[in-house]
């Protein structure tokens, strides 16, 4: 049976029936579909009285307005620090914030201010290269150390290699900042 025919027989729209079919409504017969519909959807026929409506009062208060009064909105929105400030004070605060941002941008362009992300990335790169240099020491020095019998010479070789690897951390240089 086609879903179009089943939808007409049940009095449903095709899109609603498709939703029910995805929820496992049988489509092989109208009776099976009706049984599934009444069991799973739980819709009473329109002729049955609704007990919830029978208990409802005869008079219902008018619904709340969609948009509350403007003084209530203002009271809800403007609360906390600065609630009593007027328009001029708010404008002054905004102008000060914009001036501070402009000063920060200027200091950044002059190289007096550096973004935290740039510093973190530069340090991560330095630490990674130092780590790599330290991890390469055993493979680079082991043949030389195997041939040495003097303990002082072995200590000097290891110390030189470690100092060379750690020099990576102490090298000077400020990362070049990319202004976004």
pLDDT tens-digit profile of 50-102? 555 555 555 555 555 555 554 444 444 555 555 567 888 889 999 999 999 99
On the 0-12 / 13-18 / 19+ scale of CB atoms within 10 A, 3 is: middle
Q: What integer pLDDT is reported at residue 146 of this predicted model?
A: 87
With beta carbons less than 8 A apart as the criterion, state whether 130 and 166 touch. Answer: yes
Q: What integer pLDDT is reported at residue 4 of this predicted model?
A: 84
From 156, 134, 154, select the one nearest 144 (Cα to Cα): 154
CA distances from 90 to 93, 95, 103 (A): 5, 9, 20
Q: What integer pLDDT is reported at residue 15 of this predicted model?
A: 85
For residue 109, pLDDT over 70 is answered with: yes
For residue 180, pLDDT over 50 is answered with: no
Q: What integer pLDDT is reported at residue 46 of this predicted model?
A: 47
On the 0-12 / 13-18 / 19+ scale of CB atoms within 10 A, 43 is: exposed
pLDDT tens-digit profile of 7-33? 888 888 888 888 888 888 888 888 888
Q: How far apart are CA 176 and CA 118, in angstroms?
A: 8
Q: State if pTM tops 0.75.
A: no
Q: How far apart are CA 162 and CA 136, in angstroms?
A: 10
pLDDT tens-digit profile of 116-162? 898 899 888 888 888 888 888 888 888 888 888 889 999 999 999 88
């Amino acid at each position: 049976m086609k879903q179009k025919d089943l939808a007409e027989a049940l009095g449903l729209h095709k899109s609603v029936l498709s939703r029910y079919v995805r929820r496992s409504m049988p489509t092989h017969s109208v009776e099976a579909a009706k049984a599934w519909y009444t069991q799973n959807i739980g819709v009473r026929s329109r002729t049955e009285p609704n007990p919830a409506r029978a208990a409802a009062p005869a008079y219902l208060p008018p619904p709340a307005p969609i948009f509350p009064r403007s003084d209530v909105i203002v009271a809800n929105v403007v609360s906390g620090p600065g609630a009593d400030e007027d328009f001029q004070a708010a404008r002054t605060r905004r102008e000060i914030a914009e001036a501070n941002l402009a000063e920060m941008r200027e200091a950044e362009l002059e190289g007096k201010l550096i973004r935290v992300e740039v510093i973190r990335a530069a340090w991560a790169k330095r630490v990674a290269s130092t780590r790599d240099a330290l991890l390469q020491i055993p493979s680079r020095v082991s043949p030389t150390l195997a041939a040495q019998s003097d303990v002082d010479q072995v200590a000097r070789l290891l110390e030189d290699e470690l100092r060379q690897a750690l020099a990576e951390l102490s090298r000077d240089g400020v990362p070049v900042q990319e202004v976004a």
